[in-house]
Amino acid sequence: MIRLDHVSHRYGARDVLHDLNLDLSEHRIGVVGSNGCGKSTLARLCNGLILPSSGAVSVEGHDTAKDSSAVRSLVGFVFQDPDLQIIMPTVGEDLAFSLRPHRLPKAEVAKRVDQWLHAYGLQSHRDHPAHLLSGGQKQLLAIAAVLIAEPQVVIFDEPTTLLDLANKRRIMDIVLRLDQQVIVVTHDLEFLTDFDRVIVLDQGRVVCDDRPQPALAHYRRLALGEPPVC
Strand pairing class (54-59; 2-11):
antiparallel
The helix/strand/coil state of 199 is strand
Task: Kindly tell me which of 16 and 171 has the beta carbon lying closer to another protein.
Answer: 16
The residue from 20, 37, 147, 174 that contacts another protein (CB under 8 A) is: 37
Helix, strand and coil content of the chain, in percent to the nearest 5, comes to 40, 25, 30
Task: State the nearest-atom distance from the C-beta of 2 to another protein, in Å.
Answer: 15
Of 24, 40, 170, 182, the residue at the interface with another protein (CB under 8 A) is 40
- State the helix-helix crossing angle for 106-119 and 91-98, rounded to 10 degrees: 120
Query: Which lies closer to another protein via its Cβ, residue 127 or residue 179?
Result: 127
Q: Between 92 and 131, how does the x/- string for binding to another protein read (CB under 8 A)?
A: xx--xxx-xx-------------------------x-xxx
d(CA 126, CA 63): 37
Helix axis angle, 135-147 to 106-119, nearest 10°: 130
Burial of 220 (0-12, 13-18, 19+ CB in 10 A): middle
Q: Are 221 and 193 in contact (CB under 8 A)?
A: no
Rounded CA separation 198/212 (Å): 5
Distance from C-alpha of 57 to C-alpha of 4, rounded to nearest angstrom: 5
Q: For residue 225, how many other CB atoms are within 10 A of its CB?
A: 6
Q: Which is nearer to another protein, 12 or 61 (CB)?
A: 12
Question: Which position among 2, 20, 41, 216 is part of the footprint of another protein (CB under 8 A)?
Answer: 41
Options 37-45, 115-123, 173-181, 209-217: segment touching another protein (CB under 8 A): 37-45
Site for another protein contains 140 (CB under 8 A): no
What letter would DSSP give residue 86?
-
Question: Which residue, 11 or 213, is less far from another protein as judged by CB?
Answer: 11
Name the minimum Å distance from CB 227 to another protein.
26
> Does residue 83 belong to the site contacting another protein (CB under 8 A)?
yes
Binding piece for another protein, criterion CB under 8 A, among 23-31, 88-96, 114-122, 219-227: 88-96
144 binds another protein (CB under 8 A): no
CA distance 12 to 122: 42
Give the binding site for another protein (CB under 8 A).
11-12, 14, 16, 35-41, 44, 47, 49-51, 65-69, 72-73, 76-77, 79, 81, 83-90, 92-93, 96-98, 100-101, 127, 129-131, 145-146, 149, 158
